[in-house]
Amino acid sequence: MHSVVEDHRAQLARAFTGIFTNDQAHDTLGLPMHQVSTILRQLVACHELLKVGQGLYLVTGRYQRIQVPAVPPPELRSLLEDVERAGIEHFVTGLDCLFPFIHLLPMQDIVHLVYVRKGGGEWAFDLLLKQGIFATLNPDQKEWLSPMFLTLTPERAFVAVRETSLWYGVNGAMATPERAFVDLYLETRKRGYPVPAVELGRILANFFDHGVCNLSRLIKAAHERSIDTEIKYILRKLPITSQLPSKYLAGPEQVTQFADEVVAGIHAR
């Protein structure tokens, strides 16, 4: 990397401990915006900066980036073979997409979340049942407390099928981490999916600690599911977003008790 570009990287690293905007980089470097844009592109190409949203950046070095799952885990792929062969559009979401960021939740406690295109739920559900797989369709809080679920063991996989018409943030058979987190948040808060709110906070904080999350995609995914106000509220509590201009995460000072419990998880790590 050219020494001049290294100097610019050092300036940005001194000025920002978390996410910053291209406008903030412009103010820090004191150069014309077209030059700043070129410098930011060069630093991203050299892996000295991470682009974590539209016009949003993060200095690397403080964060150890890790790989996120690109395909469903082998045991789940085998469970979904008949669904795949039947041509039912589906994708895996929730914890299966986020397991590198799980803090205290035992992996054997994961209930697989599979979303299918609206109209294909009954078909996918029947195919799973014919294989002897423990499954449920469009579950609510009451169903999560049923005796069948409470008696599950790690050897008895459980698949929750939910119909959806929203396909934003899907890459092949997997939700992106941003979409997976939003789905998990919604399933937990509104439908009683069995994950503590504090664990969601730990997952989100780990998400950012590893420089994986795209802030713009996370907010858009939350907007698609009508929970962007809550997600922005939680994001404002993360140290990594503390230097962002307030307009990026503007919203009410209080939202829901559940969101506050998620925030508690962020601070309890």
For 55-110, what is each residue's pLDDT tens digit? 999 998 766 667 788 888 887 888 898 999 999 999 999 999 998 888 766 655 67
Tell me which DSSP letter residue 139 carries. Answer: -
pLDDT at site 153: 55
Task: Determine the Cα–Cα distance for residues 184 and 142; give it in Å rounded to an integer.
Answer: 17
pLDDT at site 127: 94
Percent of the chain residues topping a pLDDT of 70? 91
Q: Mean per-residue pLDDT for 6-12?
A: 92
Residue 47 above 60 pLDDT?
Answer: yes
Q: Which of the residue ranges 13-22, 117-126, 137-146, 179-188 would you say has the lowest mean pLDDT?
A: 137-146
pLDDT at site 28: 96
Residue 154 above 60 pLDDT?
Answer: no
Q: Buried b vs exposed e over 95-123: b needs ≥16 C-beta within 10 Å?
A: bbbbeebbeebeeeebbbbbbbeeebbee
Q: What is the pTM for the complete model shown?
A: 0.90
Q: What is the pLDDT of residues 12-40, one digit of tens each?
A: 999 999 999 999 999 999 999 999 999 99
Q: Which of the residue ranges 52-61, 62-71, 162-171, 232-241 would you say has the lowest mean pLDDT?
A: 62-71
pLDDT at site 138: 94
Q: Give the number of other CB atoms < 10 A from CB of residue 210.
A: 17
Q: Dihedral of CA 23/55/39/46: which sign? A: positive
Percent of the chain residues topping a pLDDT of 90? 62
3-state secondary structure of 107: helix
pLDDT at site 144: 74
Task: Determine the Cα–Cα distance for residues 236 and 263; give it in Å rounded to an integer.
Answer: 10
Q: Show the domains of the chain with their CATH numbers.
A: 3-59 (1.10.10), 74-267 (no CATH)
Cα distances (angstroms) measured from residue 49 to each of 34, 73, 228: 17, 30, 26
Q: Mean per-residue pLDDT for 155-169?
A: 88
Strands 174-175 and 20-21: unpaired
Task: Determine the Cα–Cα distance for residues 158 and 110; give it in Å rounded to an integer.
Answer: 8
